[in-house]
Every structure is written in structure tokens, then in C-alpha cells.
């Protein structure tokens, strides 16, 4: 076997809660992004259902290595928390995080990413989407609890996320505002009042790609197109490239 260099696949890391974890399901926004980036980079799902930004900042150093590691080939990171943080403190104290702390947690996450070789211009914050209260209340009742999220409160966290992005120098996808822009029926984007429907996943994928595309446009197609492989001497084609 000839000696060759290991192929380095850049990464796009999706870091968030259940809305990120579920994004690799059929027709999910993460799956669509991964499809667009096939043969260019690995799209890594680090969605953690039920997690908030407080837990995320604690866990992040276990998910991304320190500077000068192989993780310095990270092309982009999405940070998508807030849907659990904005839980009402008196209804869901375990997941609730005060909005001021939420904002600081986002800034701390950005600082850690910078220390790990991922500068702010490769980071994209995503705000929590709106909450359809009557639909989510039905889900809460099925779980034996009362309504524990309000759309107005989710909006406060979305605004804090936008402000934190401006302070950190990251891009931001403001789902809460975009999904309600011009009075459109945002409930179509939600499956249960909180999580995304198929249409909501398409919405996120479309708008996220607009922000992500410029960060990955430089990435080459990894390994030769099959038609360019020399059938008589495949090693010369396959082992002479990255």
C-alpha cells in the first residue's frame, strides 16, 4: 500500500437543542444543509434535546477540542439555543435561564470558539422561533403540566440573541422575527407549537444557507470525480490529491 496523506474533511457543526437534534430527520434543515455540502465537508449534528445555553457552554469544551487541534478546519458553527432558556421560571425552572444570563452564555460560547480557532465570522447564531401557545399548551397538558412558554417571552430571548450577535461580531438568523414578518401565519412553520414542521425546516434551511454559503464557497469538491480517475492507474488519481 502506497503512503498517502489523510484526507481532511472540513466541518460545519450544528450546535443546539432539540430543534437542531431533530434537523437530521427526513426533510430536516440540517439534512438539507448536509446534502448541499456533500463531498465538500462533514455536517456534524451536535443537537441536544432539552438543553439550554447554561448547559451548552459547560459541555462545549468536550465537543470541540482546544486550539491547534484538527478542529481548526471548522468552516462554520451554528449556535441555536433559546427555545428552552425562555421557559417560564415558575412553570419550568429546570430549563429556564434568565435572559441576561442567556445573552452572556452566547458571548461565552463565542469566546470559547475563538480560543479553539473558530473566529466570530465563522459563527452563526440562530434565535428561537416563535411559539404557538395554544398548540404547545396541548402538548404540555399531555405531559401533565401547564403552558410553560409564551411567544412574547421567546421574542425577548430572540432580541437578546440578535444583540449578542452584534456584540460578538457573528451573523444571526432571527427566526422569531422572520417567521412573523408582515403578519404571515407563522404557525405553519411549527409542528406542535414549539418544534419545526416540514415547512419550518425548509424555511430554516433556505435562510441559513444564505448566511452559510459564503463561508463554504471556497471549499473544493473532495477527491476526484469518478470520470477523472485513471482506470489503468487509479492510484495516480486517488493518492495524488488531498
Q: Which residues are catalytic?
A: 18, 192, 195
57-92 CB burial, b ≥16 within 10 A, e <16 = beebeeebeeeeeebeebbbbbbbbbbbbbbeeeeb
For the chain, the first-to-last Cα distance in angstroms comes to 17
Q: Detail the DSSP E strand segments found in 53-122.
A: 74-80
**Is residue 174 within 8 Å of residue 162, measured between CB atoms?**
yes
In sequence order, which residues have a C-beta less than 8 Å from that of residue 103 and are 6 or more positions away? 160, 161, 163, 164
Amino acid at each position: 500500500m502506497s503512503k498517502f496523506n489523510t484526507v481532511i474533511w472540513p466541518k460545519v457543526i450544528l450546535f443546539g437543542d432539540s430543534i437542531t437534534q431533530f434537523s437530521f430527520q427526513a426533510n430536516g434543515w440540517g439534512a438539507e444543509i448536509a446534502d448541499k455540502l456533500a463531498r465538500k465537508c462533514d455536517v456534524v449534528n451536535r443537537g441536544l434535546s432539552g438543553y439550554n445555553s447554561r448547559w451548552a457552554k459547560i459541555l462545549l469544551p468536550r465537543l470541540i477540542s482546544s486550539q491547534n487541534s484538527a478542529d481548526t478546519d471548522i468552516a462554520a458553527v451554528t449556535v441555536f439555543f433559546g427555545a428552552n432558556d425562555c421557559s417560564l421560571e415558575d412553570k419550568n425552572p429546570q430549563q429556564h435561564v434568565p435572559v441576561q444570563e442567556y445573552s452572556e452564555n452566547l458571548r461565552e460560547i463565542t469566546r470559547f470558539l475563538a480560543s479553539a480557532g473558530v473566529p466570530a465570522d465563522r459563527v452563526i447564531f440562530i434565535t428561537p422561533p416563535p411559539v404557538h401557545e395554544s398548540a404547545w399548551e396541548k402538548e404540555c397538558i399531555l405531559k401533565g403540566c401547564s403552558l410553560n412558554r409564551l411567544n412574547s417571552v421567546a421574542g425577548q430571548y430572540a432580541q437578546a440573541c440578535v444583540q449578542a450577535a452584534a456584540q460578538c461580531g457573528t451573523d444571526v438568523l432571527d427566526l422569531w422575527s422572520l417567521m412573523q414578518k408582515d403578519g404571515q401565519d407563522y404557525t405553519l412553520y411549527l409542528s406542535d407549537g414549539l418544534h419545526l414542521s416540514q415547512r419550518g425546516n425548509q424555511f430554516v434551511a433556505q435562510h441559513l444557507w444564505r448566511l452559510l454559503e459564503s463561508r463554504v464557497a471556497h471549499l473544493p469538491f473532495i477527491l476526484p470525480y469518478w470520470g477523472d480517475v485513471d482506470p489503468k492507474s487509479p492510484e495516480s488519481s486517488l493518492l495524488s490529491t488531498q
